[in-house]
Structure 1
Amino acid sequence: MFDFNTYQEFLFPFAYNILGSTDDAKDAIQDTLNTFISLQNKNIDNPKAYLIKSVINTSINKKNRQKKFVSEIISLPEPIATDTADNDLYLKDIVSYSLLILLDQLTIKERAVFVLKEAFNYSHNDIAEVLSSTPESSRKLLSRAKIKLKNPSQTNLIFKNKKTEEYLNKYSTAIREKDMRKLEQLFTNDITMVADGGDKVKVLRNLTIGKQNCIELIFKVFDKFQSQQSIKHIKINHQPAIAYFDNDILSSCQVFSINQDQKIYEISSIVDPEKLKNIAKRIS
Structure 2
Amino acid sequence: MDDFERLRGRLFGIAYRMLGTATDAEEILQDAWVRWQGVDHATVRDHDAYLAKVVTNLSMKELTSARVLRETYLGEWLPEPVLTGRAEFDALGPLEVVAERESVSFALLLLLERLTPAERAAYVLHEAFAYGYREVAELIGTSEANARQLASRAGKRIAAGSRREQPVDRAGWQKLVERFLAAARLGEIEELEQLLAEDVVSTADGGGKVIAARNAIAGRDRVARYLIGTLQHFGAGIEAQLAEANGRPALVAVGPAGVVAICFVEAGPDGVSDLRVVMNPDKLAFAASQLSRIGRLPDLGW
The answer to whether the superposition gives a TM-score over 0.5 is yes
Moved more, 209-218 or 84-93: 84-93
User: How does 1:53-132 map onto structure 2 within 5 Å?
Assistant: 53-69=53-69, 70-73=71-74, 74-84=76-86, 88=90, 90-92=93-95, 93=100, 95-132=104-141
Q: Distance in 2 between matches of 1:183 and 1:146?
A: 37
* Residue of structure 1 in register with 2:278 after alignment: 270
SS at match of 1:195: strand
Q: 1:58 to 1:95 in 2, by over 3 A?
A: same
Moved more, 114-123 or 44-53: 114-123
In structure 2, stretches of 5+ residues that fail to align are 297-302
Identity in percent? 27
AA of the residue aligned to 2:164: Q
Q: 1:153 to 1:137 in 2, by over 3 A?
A: farther
* Residue of structure 2 in register with 1:251 after alignment: 260
CA contact (8 A) 1:233 1:242 kept: yes
Q: Cα RMSD (Å) of the superposition?
A: 2.5
AA of the residue aligned to 2:20: G
How many residue pairs end up in the alignment? 282
SS at match of 1:244: strand
CA contact (8 A) 1:193 1:266 kept: yes
Moved more, 178-187 or 11-20: 178-187
AA of the residue aligned to 1:271: M
Spell out, residue by residue over 1:149-191, the C-alpha distance to the aligned partner (whole angstroms, 9 max, x if none): 2254614x34144333223223223323444454344433222
CA contact (8 A) 1:114 1:145 kept: yes
Q: Does 1:173 align with 2:182?
A: yes
Moved more, 202-211 or 25-34: 202-211
CA contact (8 A) 1:158 1:238 kept: no
Q: Distance in 2 between matches of 1:16 and 1:91?
A: 15
CA contact (8 A) 1:14 1:56 kept: yes
* Residue of structure 1 in register with 2:300 after alignment: none
In structure 1, stretches of 5+ residues that fail to align are none
State the TM-score, normalized to the length of structure 1: 0.88
Q: CA deviation at 1:68?
A: 2.7
Given the alignment, which residue of 234, 244, 260 partners 1:225?
234
State the TM-score, normalized to the length of structure 2: 0.83
CA contact (8 A) 1:226 1:244 kept: no
Q: Distance in 1 between matches of 2:7 and 2:119?
A: 25
